[in-house]
Structure 1
Amino acid sequence: MESSLALLQDPAAWAALATLVAMEIVLGIDNLIFISILTNKLPEATREKARRVGIGLALILRLALLATIAVIVTLTEPLFTVLGRGISWRGLILIAGGAFLVWKATREIHHHVSGEPEDEDTGKASASQSFASAIGQILVLDLVFSVDSIITAVGMTEHVQIMFVAVIAAVMAMLFAATPLANFINRNPTIVMLALAFLMMIGMTLIAEGLGTHVPKGYIYTAMVFSAAVEGLNMVSRKRRAQRRARAAE
C-alpha cells in the first residue's frame, strides 16, 4: 500500500505511465485492424459482441501474462542459433505470429481479388463456429503482441502496478475504438485492402524481429500513416467526383 502511495506522488511514475499507455495504444492499432477485418466477416448481429468478447478476453490474457512477468522476461534467452543468430522463445512466438498474420492477410487478399462468394450453405452451426474461430484468432494474435509489449515495458519501468494500469487503459481505449473503426472499414471497401497490406507488413516485421533483425517501429507506423493519408485523399476525390456526376445528372 505504501509503495502504491509513493508511486502516486512520483512524477517519474506518472511519466512512465503516460509513455506506456501511449505505447500500448499505438501497438494496439495492429490488433484493432485485425479485429475489424475478422469481425466484419461475421453476421452483423454478432459483430459487436465478438469485438467485446475478444477484447475482454484479451485484457484477461494480458493481465495474466503480467502476473507471470518473471517468466516472460526469461523468454529472451537464446534457445538455439540459426545462421549465427540466437533464437529465443520470444523469437519463436514472433515468427509464429508473423507467419499467421502473413497467411491470414494473403488469404483475405486472395478472397477479395478473386471475388469468391461467401459460403451461403453453412447455417447457424457454422455461424457459431465462425464466432468461436474469430475469438480464438483474436486471442492468438493478442498473445503475440502481448509478449512483445510486456518485454518492451519491462525496459521502461520496473513497477508492475504501472504496467497493469497501462494495459487496462490501453485495452479500454481499444474497446471504445473497435466498433467505429470496424464500421469505417466496412463502409469503405478500398480501406480493407489497405488494412490487409498493413497486416502483411506487420507480419513480415514480426518475422524479422523474431529472427533477430530489429525493425524500428517508427518506420512502420510512418508508412502506415502516409498510406492512410493518401487513401484518405483518394476517398475525398472519389466522393467529390460522385457529387459532380450527381449534379450533372439533375
Structure 2
Amino acid sequence: MSPHVASFFHPDSHTFSYVVHDPASRQAAVIDPVLDYDPDTDAVGAGPLQPLLAHVRAHALEVRWLLETHAHADHVSAGRWLKQQWPQASLAMGSGIVEVQRTFAPRYGLEMPTDGSQFDHLFADGEHFDVGGITAEVIAVPGHTSDSVAYRIGDAVFTGDSLFMPDGGTARCDFPGGDAALLYRSIQRLLALPDTTRVFICHDYGPGGREVANETTIGDQRARNIHLHEGVSEGEFVAIRQARDATLVEPKLMHASVKANIQGGA
C-alpha cells in the first residue's frame, strides 16, 4: 500500500520532517519533527512546525504516532512539543535509545532515567505497527548512532541518518556509539528492499550546489550511491567513511540537541 507523504524542510539544520498518512482512514504519523533553537538565549520556537500543523488540519488527519529515527545531534526534536498538541499520539523510537541515554546522560551530568521511559513506546527491530490500514515495519540501522532505526510504511522507507541522497552518500559514524562497519551492514538491509521502494531521507545539503532533495528509490541508491553502490565492499566503505568523517566538524547544536533529544525533546 502507498501512503501519502508530505515533507517539510528546516533549512537551519538541513532536516526533512514528514507527515505520512493512510488516505483511507486519515490516520497519520509524524517523523523527525524539528523545533527552532537559539543557543544564545536557550529559547525554542515552533515556527518550523506551522506548515506541518497546517497540513494536518487541512487534511483532517488524526496523528497516532510521533516517530524519531534516532536522538539527533543537529536539531532539537519537536516530539515532546507535539505530544502536548496531540495527547493521543504515541512518542516512539527504537529501543537503542536506552544505550544512548546511558552513554550521554553521565557525560552531561543529567539526572534522568536511562530506561527509555521518556517515550511512550520503544520499538524492537522487526516490530510492526499500523498507520491506519497500512502496515509499518521498524528496521534497526545502527552505525551512525546505536539507536538508529528506519521506518518502512507501505511502499515508503524513512531512513533517518543512514542513507542520504545518492550523491550525498551516507551519514557520519564518528559520534560515540558510531561504527562504520555496522552502518554498512545496516544499509545492506535497506538495499535488500524492492527497487521501487520510495526512500525519504532525513538530511540533504545540496552537494555541488544543486537544490535540496529528499526522495529517491532503493534501486537508485543501489546503482548510484557514492559511498556504497553495488559492488562496494565493507572494507572499502569503512575506509571511505572514516576518511570523510576525519574532515567533519562537530554539529553546532550537538550538545544542546543531544541533551534534549535523549529525553524525547524535553
TM-score, scaled to structure 2: 0.24
Higher Rg? 1
TM-score, scaled to structure 1: 0.25
Higher relative strand content: 2
Higher relative helix content: 1
